[in-house]
Amino acid sequence: MKTQLVRLGNSRGIRIPKPILEQGGFKDTVDVRVEHHRLVIAPARSPRQGWEEAFRAPGGSTSDELLLDVLPANEFDREEWQW
């Protein structure tokens, strides 16, 4: 779809038709960036969106062993640490 750039003060803007807004899931705020000489407009995400799912996803290791039991003792462990 081609659309005209409209003057907005010293800037330019575009009008996005309602069906495209609905199809793209756009609300009041969007993320705008340039990728490979293209303007990308995406629905705005909350700053930590997806973090909980990523935290709960299994990691690369299937073992739950503690690293403290695997690592050899260092000078601090041998001389200064008190249990």
Angle at 13 between CA 31 and CA 29, to 5 degrees: 30
Whether residue 54 is contained in a domain is answered as: no
Q: Where does the pLDDT of residue 51 fall: very low under 50, low under 70, confident under 90, or very high at 90 and above?
A: confident
Mean pLDDT for all residues in the chain:
84
The model's pLDDT over 18-43, given as tens digits with 9 standing for 90+, comes to 999 999 989 889 999 999 999 999 98
pTM: 0.51
Instruction: Determine contact, residues 6/12, Cβ cutoff 8 Å.
Output: yes
Which CATH number covers residue 27?
2.10.260.10
CB within 8 Å of 43: residues ≥ 6 apart: 24, 25, 26, 27, 30, 31
Residue 9 inside a domain? The answer is yes
Neighbouring CB atoms inside 10 A of 44's CB total 13
- Count the domains in the chain: 1
Distance (Å, whole) CA 35 – CA 40: 7
Range of the domain at 19: 1-46
In a domain, 35, yes or no: yes
